């Protein structure tokens, strides 16, 4: 019995010893090969020189499984060490089958990366090369990475134009999965948007990596952008939610989607308005510049269209906004409510408006730096202040030569003109204001912040001067009718409107 047990023990010891010897010999064979193949893959795949701080391997203990642990990797694009590494990470863990070193299929089942930092080099700093968008297609036995997990990654895209700030993203969650050799990865990511700050959830396809020109790497997907605080832009506020889809390459992404801001506001007025925007755009993913091809929006109940761009400028922090907007048949109250303090606006009516909108970058609040230039027409306008509307009704009565006619009441007015806005003031040149029997031709300014009025022009009445009064004054003023008759109208007077929107003052203009 004892001899039998001793025999078994000797057999086991011999087997174990042989196993350890074989494993040690095997390790000495495949470890250099694995190191060589990993470096070759990285350098060829990304057209970079690989710099590795440390690379360790774990002995196969479970079937053919092999694990590699790398530390302090750097990939220098086109072997350039004078600029930041294109890809670097603190730690990489690779799980694969030992067979990938000797025969196919060459599949790495899982790659986990910690501390990944990607710096996309500027286009001007990359040598010109013949594009090769699918570098693995000619490899008869390509290496396939089945899944990559790189949570906590950081993406920095350096601008092509000197002086522009880089575009930066924190990718809290990032998972890529292979769809086959030479094909795009599918991805899922959770990332932060720098301005306005908010969380973006996106999924789609990325790649294959374009080793000759990384900015030409293909990209598509769908996104959800939630709880983006517009308050970081001085002068406006509200929480934005956006959904959409996109496709293209990194430096030319075609995007379409919808944005909803239920509480959009200008901080100067404080009035909250629902804003819904549907858009199509081209986005340069390498610098964040956005070119709006078509915008269809609704502010309150007012629909409008726009096109333009949101771009960065050389040497200046922030972005320039330029839009060409068109309101074909809007609600004037919606527009005034957005711009003017108070729940009740001083004027109601139908609005037709075409304007350019320019908002330069800078720290000033929007209302102080926004620039507008365009033309407008307001129809069926009525003033909400009874005192002001009574004056408008009185003007119409006198203009028609019926100063005592009580049937003339709540007379609708019409405006049209051209305007420019800068430094918080709107300059009108000229504005024509008309009611039945009267026409006012004015030029002047309206200060948005203080609501101050300063207009000068002419009052033209259809009726003669004497007919604008009743009683004895009608007869007493008849001799003066020729004096005030001018420009083929019954009465012509120089007019001034001053005061503010709540208490305007109408009077004869004493200026020459």
- Interval 221-259: pLDDT, tens: 999 988 888 877 777 788 889 999 999 988 788 999 999
> Residue 63: what pLDDT?
58
- In which region does residue 265 sit, left (phi positive, over 0), alpha (psi from -120 to 50) or beta (all else)? beta
- Global pTM value: 0.73
Q: How many domains does the chain have?
A: 2
Mean pLDDT (whole number) for 274-294? 85
Instruction: Compute the mean pLDDT over every residue in the chain, rounded to the nearest whole number.
Output: 79
> Residue 98: what pLDDT?
64
Of these ranges, 102-106, 200-204, 285-289, 462-466, the one predicted with the greatest mean pLDDT is 200-204
Banded model confidence at residue 399, pLDDT cuts 50, 70, 90: confident
Q: Which of 150, 168, 202 is the endpoint of a domain? A: 150
Could you tell me the two tokens for 430?
Answer: 């000229």
Looking at per-residue pLDDT, the higher value among 195 and 459 belongs to 459
Q: In this model, does residue 497 exceed pLDDT 90?
A: no
> Residue 137: what pLDDT?
45
Could you tell me the two tokens for 19?
Answer: 């196993």
With contact defined as beta carbons under 8 Å apart, do 332 and 340 qualify?
A: no
DSSP H or E segment with residue 454: strand 452-461
Percent of the chain with pLDDT over 90: 15
Q: In this model, does residue 349 exceed pLDDT 80?
A: yes
The whole-angstrom separation of Cα 182 and Cα 205 is: 13
Q: In this model, does residue 448 exceed pLDDT 80?
A: no
Residue 483 lies in a domain: yes
> Residue 130: what pLDDT?
45
What values do phi and psi take at 304, rounded to 5? -150, 165
Q: In this model, does residue 352 exceed pLDDT 90?
A: yes
Q: In this model, does residue 124 exceed pLDDT 70?
A: no
Residue 309 lies in a domain: no
Give the residue numbers spanning the domain of 477. 390-508
Residue 28 lies in a domain: yes
CB contact set of 497 (below 8 Å; sequence gap of 6+)? 442, 444, 453, 454, 455, 456, 504, 505, 506
> Residue 354: what pLDDT?
93
* Partners of 324 in beta bridges: 307, 356
Could you tell me the two tokens for 185?
Answer: 């990865």
Residue 88 lies in a domain: yes
Three-state secondary structure call for residue 492:
strand
Looking at per-residue pLDDT, the higher value among 37 and 348 belongs to 348
With contact defined as beta carbons under 8 Å apart, do 490 and 463 qualify?
A: yes
Q: Tokens 């010109």 appear where?
A: 128
Residue 413 lies in a domain: yes
* pLDDT, tens only, 386-395: 888 888 888 8
Residue 318 lies in a domain: no
Banded model confidence at residue 129, pLDDT cuts 50, 70, 90: very low
Q: In this model, does residue 4 exceed pLDDT 50?
A: no
Q: In this model, does residue 212 exceed pLDDT 80?
A: no
Q: In this model, does residue 329 exceed pLDDT 90?
A: yes
Q: In this model, does residue 333 exceed pLDDT 80?
A: yes
Q: In this model, does residue 375 exceed pLDDT 90?
A: yes
Residue 257 lies in a domain: no
4-43 b/e with 16+ CB inside 10 Å = b?
Answer: eeeeeeeeeeeeeeeeeeeeeeebeebbeebeeebbebbe
Mean pLDDT (whole number) for 37-65? 72
Residue 440 lies in a domain: yes
Mean pLDDT (whole number) for 188-215? 83
């Amino acid at each position: 019995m004892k001899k039998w047990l001793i025999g078994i023990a000797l057999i086991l010891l011999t087997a174990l010893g042989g196993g350890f010897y074989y494993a040690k010999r095997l390790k000495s064979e495949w470890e250099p090969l694995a190191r060589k193949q990993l470096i070759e893959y990285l350098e060829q795949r990304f057209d970079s020189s690989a710099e590795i701080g440390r690379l360790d391997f774990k002995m196969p203990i479970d079937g053919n499984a092999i694990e590699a642990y790398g530390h302090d990797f750097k990939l220098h694009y086109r072997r350039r060490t004078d600029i930041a590494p294109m890809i670097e990470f603190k730690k990489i863990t690779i799980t694969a089958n030992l067979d990938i070193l000797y025969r196919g299929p060459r599949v790495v089942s899982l790659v986990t990366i910690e501390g990944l930092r990607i710096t996309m080099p500027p286009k001007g700093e990359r040598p010109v090369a013949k594009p090769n968008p699918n570098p693995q297609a000619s490899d008869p036995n390509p290496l396939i990475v089945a899944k990559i997990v790189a949570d906590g990654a950081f993406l920095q895209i350096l601008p092509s134009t000197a002086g522009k700030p880089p575009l930066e993203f924190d990718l809290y969650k990032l998972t890529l999965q292979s769809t086959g050799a030479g094909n795009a990865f599918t991805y899922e990511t959770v990332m932060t948007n720098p301005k306005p700050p908010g969380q973006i959830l996106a999924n789609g396809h990325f790649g294959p990596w374009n080793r000759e020109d990384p900015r030409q790497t293909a990209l598509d997907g769908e996104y959800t952008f939630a709880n983006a605080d517009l308050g970081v832009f001085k002068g406006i506020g509200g929480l934005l939610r956006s959904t959409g889809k996109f496709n293209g390459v990194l430096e030319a992404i075609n995007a379409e989607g919808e944005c909803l801001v239920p509480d959009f506001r200008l901080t100067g007025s404080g009035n909250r308005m629902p804003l819904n925007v549907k858009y199509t755009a081209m986005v340069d993913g390498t610098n964040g510049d956005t070119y709006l091809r078509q915008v269809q929006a609704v502010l309150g109940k007012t629909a409008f269209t726009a096109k333009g761009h949101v771009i960065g400028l050389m040497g200046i922090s922030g972005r320039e906004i330029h839009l060409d907007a068109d309101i074909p048949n809007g609600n004037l109250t919606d527009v005034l409510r957005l711009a003017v303090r108070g729940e009740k606006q001083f004027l109601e009516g139908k609005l037709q408006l075409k304007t350019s909108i320019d908002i330069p970058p800078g720290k000033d609040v929007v209302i102080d730096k926004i620039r507008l230039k365009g033309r407008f027409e307001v129809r069926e306008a009525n003033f909400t202040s009874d005192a002001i509307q009574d004056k408008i009704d009185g003007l119409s009565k006198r203009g028609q030569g019926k100063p005592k006619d009580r049937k003339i009441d709540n007379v609708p007015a019409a405006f049209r003109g051209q305007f420019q806005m800068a430094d918080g003031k709107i300059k009108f040149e000229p504005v024509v204001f008309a009611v039945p029997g009267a026409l006012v031709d004015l030029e002047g300014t309206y200060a948005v912040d203080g609501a101050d009025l300063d207009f000068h022009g002419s009052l033209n009445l259809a009726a003669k001067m004497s007919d604008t009064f009743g009683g004895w004054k009608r007869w007493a003023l008849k001799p003066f009718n020729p004096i005030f008759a001018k420009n083929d109208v019954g009465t012509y007077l120089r007019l001034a409107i001053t005061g503010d929107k709540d208490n305007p003052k109408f009077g004869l203009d004493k200026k020459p």
